[in-house]
Structures are given as C-alpha cells and as structure tokens.
Amino acid sequence: MYQASFRKDPEFEGVFWMAVKTTGIFCRPTCTARKPKPENVEFFDNTKHAILKGYRPCKVCKPLENPDETPIEIQKLMNELSDNPELKFKDADLMIRNLQPATVKRWFLKYHGMTFHAFQRTFKINAAFKKLQQGDNVLDVALENGYESLSGFNDSFKSIIGTSPRNAKLEKVVDLKRIETPLGTMIACANEAGICLLEYSDRKSLAKELEDISKYFQANVITGDNPHFKTLEKELTEYFEGKRLDFTVPLAPVGTDFQKNVWKILASIPYGITTSYQQQAQMLGNPKAVRAVANANGLNKISIIIPCHRVIGTNGTLTGYGGGIWRKQKLLELEKAILF
C-alpha cells in the first residue's frame, strides 16, 4: 500500500487511505502531497476508522469527497429541470443561489461536454421530443417550452435531434443521466424498453459503449429524463443500503445473442453467491467457451444489475472488473459473498 501511494496509483482509489502519524491527517493513495517515511504511516480500509482514530482529512486530496461527484447545488438544478423541463436558469439565477456561472460552466463542460445553458436546451428539447412522439402539436410544444418563435424551436430541435420537429416520430432517443452512488458517479442510459447502460463514469470504455448504444438503437443519446431512471435510482439506493437483493427495473441490454445469453446467466447468479467463468460456460452448455464467456462479461454494459462482480477466478481471486477491482471487492463485501 505504501508503494501504491508512493506511485500515486489510481487503481487503489477506494481500496485504502493512508494516515500520517506526524501530521494527524489521512489521504487518498493518489494525494500529491509529499510522501512521509514508511514508519510514520498507517493504513485504513475506510475513512470512518481513520476519523475515529483522530485523523483529519487532507486539504490537498480531500479524501471525504468523490472527485467526480455532482456538487449538491448543481444536483438541485438538475433535479428541478427534471421536475420541470420548461425552467430556464440564467446566470443571474445561478448567482442568487451563490453559484458562479463560470464555475458551473466549467463543471458541465468537463462532465457533460457542453455548457450549462446548452445542457438546459438539450434537456428541454428531449422533453419536447417525447411530447411530439405522443402526438402533441409542434406549435404548442414550442410555446410550452418557452420558445417565442417556431423557427427558433425548429433550429434548436434540428441541431440536437438531427431532424425537424415534424419528423420527430421517425427518430429515436436514448436518455442519459448521471447517478450518484457510494462507489462513485455512474452513467445510466434508457429507452422506452428499459435500462441499456449503467456504468461508472470513470470507465475508460464509456465513450465507446455510448457509441455502440447509439448505433444499436439507431438513436441519439441525449441527456434527459426517463421513467425507468426513477425505478433504477430507488432500487440502487435500497441495494447499497442492504435492503434489496434483486432488481426489478426493466433492462434493454445491447449486444449479440451470445452475449445476451451469457448476461442472462450472469443475472441468474443469486445475491451473495459467486461463480467462475468455467461454471458460467458449463451453465451455457459449452464448457470450452470459457474465454468467450469472460470476454462477454467484460462487455457487459449494465453493472451491478447484471452482476459480473459475482464472477471470480477458480482459485478464489478477484479477476478483472471494468469498474476497478476495489469496486468489485466492495460489492462482494456489501453482499457478504462467500469467496471459494
């Protein structure tokens, strides 16, 4: 752990925290502060134990914060937009809430690839798209969403959806949302059929997965609300509180028939139980397909619900996990899984 901290190895984020006896502070493994001597440190597997022993959180690496977590005030803005897409927050409105417009802009550019005002337009157009698909009149939808002219609405709609409002019924949209969990921020996607993605926001393959989903459904992936998100967030909260063993939220997995069969077997692994790639292959009816099964597991885009974290090595080791081995360990600890 000391060597990992010395290297500032991000693979150990969430696995341990290092406390410094001489300063009375504790840090993340990736802290940029000068490293103390080995004899002056001790390690903890959670921040609570470090605090109970009298250590203070480091002001440099802020170990009590999730670096990618949505700030509370920004989350409030997004919740209000979700409840009422017709809202429009101006810079003056942000300042009334003690939010600096430039700070909000930087956050949205970093985590959504667009400014806050562009995010609002996208969210609003997504809501308008759904109304049009339900048969609402174009002019009525434009006025309801705060557009003073039909031409302005048409231009915004076409720039985001890729077609005019009158052709909305011919287009498809997959909704996207950030969700906060005890293991970090996750990105969820859903269409009318169900959840098609639930991934950790720091997963390197996330951009490719979003591209695959867009191609698979021939749809635009756009930030917006979806009825399945409410069910998902409720069930995830219950799961992390130890109150839910199974998920009921509908799924719409993206993959080949073989991959979907592998994921179906994954989904059948009970809470608190682990299995191996070899056992998965046997359940699939092809004991020699171990490598193909392992590859399909790695391409699973719906973490936790399709529980690839319950698959370990035949020797009991924690094999690879797209969200990081430390997350896999935390999930198995939460489920009190028996590792064989």
**Long-range contacts of 322-328, Cβ-Cβ distance < 8 Å, separation of 24 or more:** 322/199, 322/200, 322/203, 322/205, 322/298, 323/183, 323/199, 323/200, 323/203, 324/11, 324/13, 324/14, 324/200, 325/11, 325/15, 326/11, 326/12, 326/13, 326/14, 326/15, 327/14, 327/183, 327/184, 327/200
- SS3 of residue 70 by DSSP: coil
Q: Is 189 a catalytic residue?
A: no
List, in order, residues 6 or more apart from 332 with CB less than 8 Å away. 274, 309, 310, 318, 339
Using CA atoms, how far residue 208 sits from 54, 194, 215, 301, 327, in Å, is 44, 20, 11, 11, 21
DSSP code at position 45: S
Active-site residue, selected from the candidate residues 27, 58, 61, 308: 308
Q: What six digits make up the tokens of 111?
A: 């985590």
Distance CA 340, CA 338 (A): 6
List, in order, residues 6 or more apart from 160 with CB less than 8 Å away. 121, 122, 125, 126, 220, 222
Where residue 184 falls (left for φ over 0; alpha for ψ -120 to 50; beta otherwise) is left
Is the CB of residue 200 less than 8 Å from the CB of residue 327?
yes
Quote the crossing angle between the two packed helices 116-133 and 150-161, to the nearest 10°: 100
Distance CA 262, CA 299 (A): 10
DSSP code at position 39: G
Q: If we measure between CA atoms, which residue out of 251, 104, 144, 237 comes closest to residue 189?
A: 251
Q: CA gyration radius for the chain?
A: 23
Just list the catalytic residues: 308
